A and B are shown apart, each in its own frame.
Chain A
Amino acid sequence: MDGQTRLGMLHRLLVLFWPPPQTESVILSPLSFSIYRGHKIQHSDWHKEPLRIMDPECSRLLPALCAVLADPRQPVADDTCLEKLLDWFKKVTEAESSLLLLQENPCLVELLSHVLRPQDVSPRVLSFSLRLAGTFAAQEDCFQYLQQGDLLLGLFGEAGTLGWAAWNVPTVRSGWIQGLSSLAQHPSALHFLADSGAVDTVFSLQGDPSLFVASAASQLLVHILALSMHGEAVEHHSPQGSAWPTCAQKIVGHVEESLRSTAAPQVTQALNVLTTTFGRCHSPWTEVLWEQLSPLVACLLERDPIPAGHSLVDLLLSVARSPVFSSADCGLWETVAQTLSRLSPTQAGPLALGTLKLQHCPQALRTQAFGILLQPLACVLKATTQAPTSPGLLDGTLGGSMTVDALLSSKSACAGLLCQTLAQLEELHPLPHRPSPWPQASLLEAVVTILQLCDGSAAPGSSVGGRLCGTLAGCVRVQRAALDFLGTLSQGTSPQELVPQVFAVLLEYLESPDSSPTVLKKAFQATLGWLLSSPKTPGCSDFGPHIPLFLGELFPVLQKRLCSPCWEVRDSALEFFTNLSRHWGEAPTLTQQLLRDPESYVRASAVTAMAQLSSQGLHATLASPEHPEAEQGLLREFLNILSADSEGFPRRAVVQVFTQWLRDGHAEVARDTEQFVATVLQVVSQDLDWEVRVQGLELAQVFLTQKLGQPGHCPYTVALPEAPLPRLRPEVLRTLCQPWLLEFAFRALFDCDRPVAQKACNLLLFLRDKTAPYAGTQETGDSPHLDSMEAALQRWQAGEQGQPLGDPEPEAMLAVLRSLDLEGLQGRLAESSDHVEKSPQSLLQDMLATVDILEENEADCY
């Protein structure tokens, strides 16, 4: 086995355990090539894209591979190889003539002929061959070529695959369909399909026990229909159904028959075929098709229960979305309206939402659809309030008895319907063409009521309300959906008198010990939405009139949540608090204690929260007003976390905070920036978490940028007249070339994790470009510094991390920087990790090698 194959196999192994950072080290480490410009090793060509897709080397390997595939004693290792192989053949046939390919590589036809003897072939290879044959036969000349030997008929005809035992394997049936799908690209294929009786087989496969096969069969029918109508539409302007090609008529006839069937699965199949047809084909003939079939579809509505409700909804939406029907009046809207009124609330919901999302639908229908969508909420309101206060929701939503029945039938039905409705309204809310007027007040009222029903605080007057209360009490699903929607509603203009109710119910949820952590998180998100969207009034705070009162009550709740035994609760409370503190000047005293929380996520959130407080200037007062060194303590505490915390999240949070502090010129950092960056990078360079190291490089980047100015120029800015380059003062140069900075960057360049190496490479490129104008001002020549540095770099490259860089001159540093082929390295690092075995040659070799290994193993057994 040669090195590449081993690499390829190794990579496949590693893919299974993706993404451990070490994986990259094997494949991507720059160790495999030198990075020096001066004595660059010539790379082998294996990673380059081949000029011709089917290169001679692949051609040479193909016969062996075909032999392996045809040999039942040599099982193919895995399906993915075959998939990749097929992908490659597709690529090849797209670029080259399939006929030529088959003629140049007769082994391929041999393989296809071989599989005609089914007893010798595994189902996988059979499926593969069917698809391969389809791929080749997509080109008409190649189709004819294959037809000559009756190969295609053998593979796809009734006498072929269908009669074999392997037909019982779903993969084979799936391969058969996919093969036909690829093949059906030209008129000859249509004749073949008609003559071979394949269409009838496809009809029967629509009801296949394998869902994949059944779905592919439906798709194939649509494909054949579209193909057979393709020529027609050009010649005649949307002919009537009776004048359609035989194949199309046959398919349409089958669909009609299925629609008339009393068996629901048959109806579903027909509806699915139609849905796909109208979704994909937008030619005039689809209008004729709809005219012909819509009476049958309408008949479905008269049945009780309506069969295949979901598929019917999909079909109607598919037709309504088709541009063919945008202007035509073809009875579609009547059918939609009728369907809306006949379907159960759960099934009607998606249709109503889909209708409302259409741009060109009649206003009356929109009103009806919106009414249906609102019905469950209207029922809830009606059941809970004595006197409906908001007529908006209850108007035009008569006939809600079906909805009430659905709500009361069972706990899961009730929760399902309400969750669906809330999610649909949430989806509708931000749309520009949402129904107008938007009943914001009623929706708010309804969602608040639902939340109250869920936590048992509602006191409904009616018996329906009482039962709803019992059904919904403690229902976490509905709570989450309602809180999500409540949060969304904060984005609208709400009547002022309802806002206190919203805050009251939110507070109930935030306070309640029974709120599950996920519900609580949603409640926090909704609360934040409402707090931030409240109208700002000049005065004591940024917030509206209700807010100070609410915040006063929220504060103790937040304190309590920060002490929760459940870490998810502590974490979301901290997160909420961090977001809130950007706008609000108070701080719970407990935040700092959470820096020592046992849960790493919480510690990370606490770091962010404390940093936020510190940026607001709140930390000093928080920790201890009489100690001015509190701030200093926080920096120490963060550094301590960075060097000592056992988990990655808090350490990442700290470096992010430090980077932000450096950007913002935080007082703590500004005192001695250099010292600060040096300390942080020193700690970061030892970190085992690659994300922390990347963050560290980001910090270094910010530092360099601040010293040197923005990296690069925006290509769209008007070029200013070339300003004379400011002289880089020697002390700045010395700062930039501090050993701690460059050592960190250079070491990162050889990091075993690709993102780190990439980031380091970019950083050094930036530094090199910025210092380039000053190159050569002081030629360092072969100074001893340079030599020792190169020696150190080579050792690092070789994986020996121990040796320090020493304390070289800045000039030596710059010289080394210039001597590196950073662009080349950047390019190589940018290549994806599997670029090696993406090459077809490698794939073929791998497949052959696997067989060898299997053989070897077999031999070992004896």
Chain B
Amino acid sequence: MKLYCLSGHPTLPCNVLKFKSTTIMLDCGLDMTSTLNFLPLPLVQSPRLSNLPGWSLKDGNAFLDKELKECSGHVFVDSVPEFCLPETELIDLSTVDVILISNYHCMMALPYITEHTGFTGTVYATEPTVQIGRLLMEELVNFIERVPKAQSASLWKNKDIQRLLPSPLKDAVEVSTWRRCYTMQEVNSALSKIQLVGYSQKIELFGAVQVTPLSSGYALGSSNWIIQSHYEKVSYVSGSSLLTTHPQPMDQASLKNSDVLVLTGLTQIPTANPDGMVGEFCSNLALTVRNGGNVLVPCYPSGVIYDLLECLYQYIDSAGLSNIPFYFISPVANSSLEFSQIFAEWLCHNKQSKVYLPEPPFPHAELIQTNKLKHYPSIHGDFSNDFRQPCVVFTGHPSLRFGDVVHFMELWGKSSLNTVIFTEPDFSYLEALAPYQPLAMKCIYCPIDTRLNFIQVSKLLKEVQPLHVVCPEQYTQPPPAQSHRMDLMIDCQPPAMSYRRADVLALPFKRRYEKIEIMPELADSLVPMEIKPGISLATVSAVLHTKDNKHVLQPPPRPAQPTSGKKRKQRVSEDVPDCQVLKPLLSGSIPVEQFVQTLEKHGFSDIKVEDTAKGHIVLLQEAETLIQIEEDSTHIICDNDEMLRVRLRDLVLKFLQKF
């Protein structure tokens, strides 16, 4: 059993598990932090961005000044943003049988895999994962395609040149494999390969293994996966949450008794408590608006935004913000808000029960109805007519490199009355803000990451008791910025196996059993014999038939019957002409004292017993014979006296059971 680790990002994993005869890809995360090295794509012509000076080497050589621009001491690539793909060279991805997706954030690299690697298998994911994943991809494609960039920089990627660049460009990994965003056509084609699954549904893969998605409590339709055969169980935990937010709670019980538990997608900000952060978010939002400023919340179009809107729904009246407009701007804003209301069976119990009232499960429906929340596909069109300040704007992309958020950063960045509040934990807010410096706008960082923290993980591991834990190496040591926080790492016994990008792990676990079925007629013919209370044995003679990874014992083939009038008894003896007369199988153990007594009774004298490490040696000194009794063998060593040997053998056999 092997694990190929194609991504080094702990929360955007992409691993391939070879288990029995199957090759299973676990998630398909796309590392978008690479886009932070690029200049933002402004929706409206930005004189500031277009007039940034080109970057030149220390010696004044300016051959890169078309590709690289400098802003407040940082260097950015002036090109269409590119993403860092999972490893494609480590394993032949065309051999991947299935891809299991755990949540919509972890499927963003799917088109790269399904469309460009020769992949011919199936992708499994829940319906909300697919629908919201599609929205995220659609938004991404839209953000990038609607600002066409003539230039595509590639000179800087040259290894010799990259070495000369300042950090962080110099240290960027595998820049040669970075790719531009996929197209909508590729997205559609990739999504067409997905087969929808429901929680706890058992999916057979080639008869060899069974995979099952379980609720993971993190996002709408998010799942952990169990991959099991009859005697082995691998759990894949990715992006799980124990907090009570909108999704169905995490199913922990089903993870019990795993041989291997692959653990990814823990919280990225282990020191930030989501409750405290939500409070911080609300306080800063209200403070800014009351002081007449605008609030910008860079966010994804789905996920935490639902919870934020719910908090605000309860908060805005009490904070006197009823008259402040809330805008949600995304090409998929409308679909996201509406989708969230229709996936009732994927929601937590409270929200599910609302549907029966019937009420919309999320209160943002009411915010929209009362015109407190308005949504627009983009800043162009209706939005510009309705726009009024001060206001609160939710818009993407959280990297601040593309999407409508770029416009608002340019628009509001100059005033210290305004605030940008970062709630998505995926990007370093300082790096995200770098191309907008100098910035007068206030910046508040309240990352809301509801995924498991280390305390919860240690409780979870105690409860589900996996034999082995496998996790990204980041989880086996404290975060670099807080190297003394020994509590911010996975602490389990035996220590977790860690992996990094491009590692291949041999999972520490041997398969020992295989399930074989016995045909009923064969089973019928068996004559079990009880050798110990509760344990019966029978000998079987059969033909092992293996097909589709299923093993079946069938009755041995009957030979052709030359004549039909023979008696049954004869036929039976002829049925197995090739079978040798089988020696009976023996079982049991020989009690030495009784054995010696028996020997004495049969006329042997001068018997000596020696204890050995493995059992006993019975010495018949007179007969110059030695009987070695061990747990699973008995040897009678005598000199050419076959009669004696047979006599002794029969005495030994008296103590054993035969069948």
Q: Which A residues fall within an 8 A CB radius of B?
A: 456, 458-460, 465-467, 469-471, 473-474, 512-515, 559-561, 563-566, 569, 589-590, 593, 596-599
Q: Does B473 contact A (CB under 8 A)?
A: no
Distance of A593 Cα from B289 Cα, bound (Å): 13
Which of these binds chain A: B76-84, B250-258, B275-283? Answer: B275-283
Pick from A459, A563, A565, A599: contact of B484, CB under 8 Å = A459
17 A-B residue pairs with CB within 8 Å: A456-B485, A459-B484, A466-B485, A470-B485, A473-B271, A514-B271, A563-B283, A563-B287, A564-B279, A564-B282, A565-B279, A565-B314, A565-B319, A566-B279, A589-B291, A590-B287, A593-B290
Nearest CB of A to B315, in Å? 5
Known: A513-B276, A514-B272, A596-B320. A563 touches B486 (CB 8 A): no
Nearest CB of B to A452, in Å? 11
Contact at A469–B282, with CB atoms within 8 Å?
no
Distance of A802 Cα from B508 Cα, bound (Å): 89
Contact at A470–B320, with CB atoms within 8 Å?
no
Q: A456-B271, A563-B284, A590-B290 are in contact. List 6 more A-B contacts (CB 8 A).
A: A456-B482, A466-B485, A560-B287, A565-B282, A589-B290, A589-B291
Known: A563-B287, A596-B320. A467 touches B280 (CB 8 A): no
Contact at A466–B486, with CB atoms within 8 Å?
yes
Chain A residues, CB < 8 A from B487: 469-471, 473
Known: A565-B279, A593-B290. A560 touches B484 (CB 8 A): no
Q: Does B286 contact A (CB under 8 A)?
A: yes
Known: A456-B271, A565-B315, A598-B317. A513 touches B277 (CB 8 A): yes
Q: Determine the residue in chain B with the shortest Cβ distance to A459.
A: B484
Distance of A512 Cα from B284 Cα, bound (Å): 13
Q: Does B273 contact A (CB under 8 A)?
A: yes
Distance of A563 Cα from B293 Cα, bound (Å): 15
Contact at B282–A563, with CB atoms within 8 Å?
yes
Chain B residues, CB < 8 A from A566: 279
Chain A residues, CB < 8 A from B277: 513
Distance of A569 Cα from B286 Cα, bound (Å): 15
Nearest CB of B to A454, in Å? 12
Distance of A458 Cα from B485 Cα, bound (Å): 9
Chain A residues, CB < 8 A from B290: 563, 589-590, 593
Contact at A593–B320, with CB atoms within 8 Å?
yes
Contact at B273–A469, with CB atoms within 8 Å?
no
Contact at A469–B320, with CB atoms within 8 Å?
no
Q: Determine the residue in chain B with the shortest Cβ distance to A471.
A: B487
Chain B residues, CB < 8 A from A460: 484
Distance of A625 Cα from B302 Cα, bound (Å): 45
Contact at B283–A565, with CB atoms within 8 Å?
yes
* Total contacting residues, chain B, CB less than 8 A: 30
Contact at B318–A597, with CB atoms within 8 Å?
yes
Distance of A456 Cα from B279 Cα, bound (Å): 20
Distance of A590 Cα from B290 Cα, bound (Å): 8
Kindly supply a per-residue 1/0 record for chain B positions 317-339, scoring 1 wherever the CB is within 8 Å of any chain A CB and 0 otherwise: 11110000000000000000000
Distance of A301 Cα from B194 Cα, bound (Å): 73
Q: Determine the residue in chain B with the shortest Cβ distance to A384.
A: B484
Chain B residues, CB < 8 A from A456: 271, 482, 485
Nearest CB of A to B279, in Å? 5
Known: A513-B280, A593-B290. A563 touches B319 (CB 8 A): yes
Nearest CB of B to A855, in Å? 51
Distance of A857 Cα from B277 Cα, bound (Å): 61
Distance of A598 Cα from B320 Cα, bound (Å): 10
Q: Determine the residue in chain B with the shortest Cβ distance to A462.
A: B484
Contact at B482–A513, with CB atoms within 8 Å?
no
Contact at A560–B318, with CB atoms within 8 Å?
no
Nearest CB of A to B288, in Å? 9
Chain B residues, CB < 8 A from A466: 484-486
Chain A residues, CB < 8 A from B482: 456
Chain A residues, CB < 8 A from B314: 565
Distance of A456 Cα from B484 Cα, bound (Å): 9
Q: Does B446 contact A (CB under 8 A)?
A: yes
Nearest CB of B to A396, in Å? 29
Q: Determine the residue in chain A with the shortest Cβ distance to B277.
A: A513
Within 8 A of A (CB), among B503-523: none
Q: Does B311 contact A (CB under 8 A)?
A: yes
Chain A residues, CB < 8 A from B319: 563, 565
Contact at A561–B320, with CB atoms within 8 Å?
no
Distance of A474 Cα from B273 Cα, bound (Å): 10
Chain A residues, CB < 8 A from B276: 512-515
Chain B residues, CB < 8 A from A565: 278-279, 282-283, 311, 314-315, 318-319
Known: A513-B280, A565-B282. A559 touches B287 (CB 8 A): yes
Q: Determine the residue in chain B with the shortest Cβ distance to A593.
A: B320
Known: A563-B287, A598-B317. A513 touches B272 (CB 8 A): yes
Nearest CB of B to A122, in Å? 49
Nearest CB of B to A466, in Å? 5
Contact at A465–B318, with CB atoms within 8 Å?
no
Contact at A467–B271, with CB atoms within 8 Å?
no
Contact at A560–B272, with CB atoms within 8 Å?
no
Contact at B283–A598, with CB atoms within 8 Å?
no
Chain B residues, CB < 8 A from A469: 484-487
Chain B residues, CB < 8 A from A514: 271-273, 276
Contact at B279–A473, with CB atoms within 8 Å?
no
Contact at A465–B484, with CB atoms within 8 Å?
yes
Distance of A469 Cα from B485 Cα, bound (Å): 6
Contact at A473–B282, with CB atoms within 8 Å?
no
Q: Which of A458, A471, A473, A513 has the most CB of B within 10 A?
A: A513
Distance of A422 Cα from B287 Cα, bound (Å): 36
Chain B residues, CB < 8 A from A596: 320
Nearest CB of B to A554, in Å? 15
Distance of A589 Cα from B290 Cα, bound (Å): 9
Contact at A560–B284, with CB atoms within 8 Å?
yes
Known: A559-B287, A563-B319. A470 touches B486 (CB 8 A): yes
Distance of A249 Cα from B486 Cα, bound (Å): 60
Chain A residues, CB < 8 A from B320: 593, 596
Nearest CB of B to A455, in Å? 9
Chain A residues, CB < 8 A from B285: 563
Chain B residues, CB < 8 A from A597: 318
Distance of A244 Cα from B174 Cα, bound (Å): 94
Contact at A513–B485, with CB atoms within 8 Å?
no
Q: Determine the residue in chain B with the shortest Cβ distance to A557.
A: B283
What are the 7 A-B residue pairs with the smallest beta carbon separation, nearest first? A470-B487, A513-B280, A513-B276, A563-B286, A598-B318, A514-B276, A563-B283
Chain B residues, CB < 8 A from A515: 276
Q: Determine the residue in chain A with the shortest Cβ distance to B291.
A: A589
Chain B residues, CB < 8 A from A559: 287
Pick from B272, B286, B317, B485: contact of A473, CB under 8 Å = B485
Distance of A512 Cα from B445 Cα, bound (Å): 12
Distance of A158 Cα from B464 Cα, bound (Å): 58
Nearest CB of B to A29, in Å? 40
Distance of A469 Cα from B488 Cα, bound (Å): 10
Distance of A467 Cα from B488 Cα, bound (Å): 11
Nearest CB of B to A518, in Å? 14
Distance of A515 Cα from B488 Cα, bound (Å): 19
Chain B residues, CB < 8 A from A599: 318
Nearest CB of A to B576, in Å? 67
Contact at A564–B283, with CB atoms within 8 Å?
yes
Chain A residues, CB < 8 A from B284: 560, 563
Distance of A515 Cα from B287 Cα, bound (Å): 19
Nearest CB of A to B270, in Å? 10
Contact at A513–B446, with CB atoms within 8 Å?
yes
Chain A residues, CB < 8 A from B446: 513
Chain A residues, CB < 8 A from B488: 470
Distance of A409 Cα from B487 Cα, bound (Å): 15
Distance of A139 Cα from B221 Cα, bound (Å): 82
Chain B residues, CB < 8 A from A563: 282-287, 290, 319
Chain B residues, CB < 8 A from A569: 279
Distance of A513 Cα from B446 Cα, bound (Å): 9
Nearest CB of B to A237, in Å? 64
Chain B residues, CB < 8 A from A564: 279, 282-283
Known: A560-B283, A563-B319, A596-B320. A513 touches B486 (CB 8 A): no
